């Protein structure tokens, strides 16, 4: 029993030593603009986190009326994953047409965190 546990631990340590941490990338597009993301060589997109709405006044500032900074489309991650995961490049419009309108009368932005996964 102990020998099996030792063998499993050795195998696990070998497997873990071959895992490379994925580098994270961030991209932002203001509302009514396109977001273009992509990976090089034999890597493919994996969408990690998405914000469509507004969490900050500093990103995509707007001179118009006051806007909320507490609104995010709940379906943003699912939409981006279904459109972009496992592709090398992806273009998505930062718009209410794509993501819905989480905060009426507020200028929004699309912020995407992603990594590039190398396929063996």
Yes or no: say if 87 and 22 are a contact pair by the CB < 8 Å rule.
no
Domain at 22-118: CATH code: 2.60.120.740
pLDDT given for residue 13 in this prediction? 40
* Six token digits for residue 76: 């943003």
pLDDT given for residue 66 in this prediction? 58
Each domain of the chain, given as residue ranges in start order, spans 22-118
Nearest alpha carbon to residue 90 among 31, 51, 44: 44
Q: Provide the 3-class DSSP secondary structure of residue 70.
A: coil
Yes or no: say if 76 and 113 are a contact pair by the CB < 8 Å rule.
no
Average pLDDT for runs of 10 along the chain of length 120: 44 37 88 97 95 93 75 97 97 98 93 92
Entry pTM: 0.79
pLDDT given for residue 11 in this prediction? 35
116 vs 110: CA distance, rounded Å: 19
Nearest alpha carbon to residue 47 among 10, 90, 17: 90
């Amino acid at each position: 029993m102990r020998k099996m546990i030792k063998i499993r631990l050795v195998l696990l340590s070998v497997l873990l030593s071959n895992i490379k941490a994925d580098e994270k990338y961030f991209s932002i597009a203001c509302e009514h603009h396109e977001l273009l993301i992509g990976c090089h060589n034999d890597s493919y997109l994996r969408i990690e986190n998405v914000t469509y709405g507004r969490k900050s006044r500093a990103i995509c500032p707007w001179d118009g009326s006051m806007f909320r900074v507490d609104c995010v489309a709940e379906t943003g991650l699912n939409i981006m994953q279904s459109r972009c995961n496992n592709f090398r490049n992806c273009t998505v419009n930062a718009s209410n047409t794509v993501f819905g309108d989480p905060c009426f009368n507020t200028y929004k932005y699309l912020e995407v965190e992603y990594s590039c996964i190398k396929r063996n």
